[in-house]
Structure formats: C-alpha cells, structure tokens
C-alpha cells in the first residue's frame, strides 16, 4: 500500500546524508515522498554571503528532490543556527500543519533522544517533529488548522537519524539507490563545497600537512563526497550483508500491549 512519507530536516543535505538512499528507494517503490527544510542554510558557507545562500536554497532543494524522486519540497525559511530561538509550539505547528496537509504516514527526522547531537538546529527540529507527530491526531492541538479545513491525522511510523550506532534498530538496503543519494547531495552545491571546506579546515587544525591537502579542490567535491558516502553506507551495509545501507532508530505504531494480551487470551 502506498504511503505518504515526510522528511523534516533542519538543513539542506541533512536528509540526503542520513536517509537519501532510503527516501529514494521509497519513492521508487511508489510511495509519495515530501521534503521539508526548516532553514535556508544561510550560515552554511565560508565563501558565500547569507544572501547568496538564501538565493540558492530553493533551487538546490528542488534539485535534490528531483534526484530522490520526491513529489514536493517545503522550505520554512528560518535562519540557519537560530532554530532554537523559534518558539517550540510555533515550530511544532509548522510540522503539524504539513503532517495534516499531506496526511503523512511516515516521518523522517533527527532523533530527539539521540546523544552526541551537537547542532542546536538538529535538536530543535527533532523535538518539533517528535511533538508534532505525536499529537497531530489531537483535534485540540493547533485548532486554527482545523478551522482552515485540515483534519487531525495520526502518524504511524518514525525513522530517526542517530549519530550513535548502538541506537540503530533498522537497517535499510540502499544498494539500488546510492546513485540517487549521491546526485541529491551534489544538488546541494553550496553545502557540498562547505563539507569539503570544513573537512580541510579540520584537517589543518588537526595538524595534517599542507602538502597532503594541496590537491583537494572543494569546488570539485564529487569524488570526496562519493568516497565518504560509500565508506559510511558500505560500513552500515556490511552489518546487513548488502553493499550499502542506511541505519535508523525506528518506531512504529503498535497496538497497546494490554489490548494485544487481551486478544491473545481470548484466543
Ligand atoms: Zn544539519
């Protein structure tokens, strides 16, 4: 049965790095995939101005969506790095509106309970998404949305990104869609250049000799991005016995245990 899948990220490239192969696979299997990005990536460069980054935010997001086979992109337009300053109920309202509007069955986002999450935007969107998905079926939450004609809607599956391997309880074979993931990442040119610039900065700060780094051109990011993605997803794939995979902390709606027990006892 076709499902509606909604990915909610803080930044362009979050969903692509963490779940690009899985989202592309779901789209290829006939599910309706939508992407939401809360910020315009406008602190995400050592080279471009905030205005220049905002100017490319939509075209980069649409390029990624096309590569993944997503049906639509929603940009919330917040300032990169300042998501934690948005009132939590306001951010939750944005996500809940999308869940109700699209009737989303499956949610992808950062994990609100993940340890070692250092980015405040990731923490903010994780909690907003978790709270919105938990209460979108409550008609008294954000009643103004119902007055506009939206209906309460229950989410039934959650795929959370985690930076801690021991939290993963679902691995998805992405061997067939890793090329789509790479193309989706390449569509975020501003963020891929940043990724390599940051890599070089870290390497220099850690004392790597300049001669070793001299040949790396951040504007020709494809080979390094591909190497990194194939290494990470290959390591996850090895756990599953496939060439590539992505891992998540996964939850799904289950009948409450007390009812399951009652049904079992009734025979
Ligand atoms: Zn991010």
pLDDT tier, 267 (very low <50, low <70, confident <90, very high otherwise):
low
Q: Which parts of the chain are beta strand (E)? A: 4-9, 32-39, 72-78, 106-110, 157-161, 170-173, 245-252
Give me the half-sphere count of Cα atoms (radius 13 Å) on the Cβ side of residue 145. Answer: 24
Q: What percent of the chain has pLDDT over 90?
A: 89
pLDDT at 30: 98
Cα of 121 vs centre of ligand 1, distance in Å, is 7
* pLDDT beyond 90 at 256: no
Smallest CA-to-CA distance from 70 within 82, 61, 78, 57 is with 61
Cα of 254 vs centre of ligand 1, distance in Å, is 30
Cα of 33 vs centre of ligand 1, distance in Å, is 20
Give residues with Cβ within 8 angstroms of 16, minimum separation 6: 64, 68, 181, 184, 185, 188
Cα of 110 vs centre of ligand 1, distance in Å, is 9
Give residues with Cβ within 8 angstroms of 266, minimum separation 6: none
* pLDDT beyond 70 at 238: yes
* pLDDT beyond 90 at 261: no
* pLDDT beyond 90 at 257: no
Give residues with Cβ within 8 angstroms of 122, minimum separation 6: 10, 14, 110
pLDDT at 76: 98
Across the range 192-204, mean pLDDT stands at 94
* pLDDT beyond 90 at 259: no
CB contact burial 84-114 (16+ within 10 A = b; e otherwise): eebeeeebbbbbbbbbbbbbbbbbbbbbbeb
Task: Give tens-digit pLDDT for 89-130.
Answer: 999 999 999 999 999 999 999 999 998 899 999 999 999 999
pLDDT at 6: 98
Task: Locate 62 and state its tokens.
Answer: 């649409």
Task: Give tens-digit pLDDT for 9-28.
Answer: 999 999 999 999 999 999 99
Across the range 33-42, mean pLDDT stands at 97
Torsion of CA 249, 250, 256, 259, to 10 degrees: -130
pLDDT tier, 205 (very low <50, low <70, confident <90, very high otherwise):
very high
* pLDDT beyond 70 at 32: yes
Q: Is 130 helix (H, G, I), strand (E, B) or coil?
A: helix
On average, the pLDDT of the chain sits at 95
The single residue listed with the structure tokens 């494809």 is 222
Whole-angstrom CA distances from 90 to 111, 113, 174, 211 are: 19, 20, 35, 49
Question: Which of 15-29, 128-142, 201-215, 235-249 has the least mean pLDDT?
Answer: 201-215
Cα of 47 vs centre of ligand 1, distance in Å, is 18
Question: Positive or negative, the Cα torsion across 65, 191, 248, 137?
Answer: negative
Read off the DSSP letter of residue 140. T
Cα of 57 vs centre of ligand 1, distance in Å, is 14
Cα of 174 vs centre of ligand 1, distance in Å, is 21
Cα of 64 vs centre of ligand 1, distance in Å, is 15
pLDDT at 8: 98
* pLDDT beyond 70 at 134: yes
Task: Give tens-digit pLDDT for 156-186.
Answer: 999 999 878 888 999 999 999 999 999 999 9
């Amino acid at each position: 049965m076709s499902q509606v899948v909604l990915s909610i990220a803080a930044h362009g490239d979050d969903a692509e790095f963490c779940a690009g192969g899985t989202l592309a696979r779901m789209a290829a299997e006939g599910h309706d995939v939508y992407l939401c990005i809360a910020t315009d990536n406008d602190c995400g460069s050592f080279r471009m101005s905030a205005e220049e980054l905002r100017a490319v935010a939509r075209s980069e997001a649409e390029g990624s969506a096309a590569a993944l086979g997503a049906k639509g992109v929603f940009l919330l337009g917040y300032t990169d790095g300042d998501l934690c300053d948005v009132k939590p109920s306001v951010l939750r309202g944005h996500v809940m509106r999308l869940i109700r509007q699209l009737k989303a069955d499956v949610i992808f986002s950062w994990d609100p309970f993940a340890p070692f999450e250092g980015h405040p935007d990731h923490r903010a969107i994780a909690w907003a998404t978790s709270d919105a998905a938990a209460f979108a079926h409550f008609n008294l939450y954000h009643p103004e949305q119902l007055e506009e004609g939206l209906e309460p809607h229950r989410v039934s599956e959650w795929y959370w990104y985690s930076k801690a391997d021991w939290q993963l309880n679902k691995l998805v074979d992405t061997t067939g869609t890793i090329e789509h993931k790479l193309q989706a990442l390449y569509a975020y040119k501003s963020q891929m250049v940043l990724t390599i610039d940051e890599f070089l900065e870290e390497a220099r700060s850690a004392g790597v000799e300049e001669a070793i780094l001299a040949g790396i051109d951040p504007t020709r990011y494809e080979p390094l991005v591909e190497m990194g993605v194939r290494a990470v997803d290959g390591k996850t794939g090895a756990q599953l016995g496939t060439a590539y995979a992505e891992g998540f902390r996964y939850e799904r709606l289950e009948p409450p245990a007390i009812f399951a027990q009652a049904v079992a006892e009734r025979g």
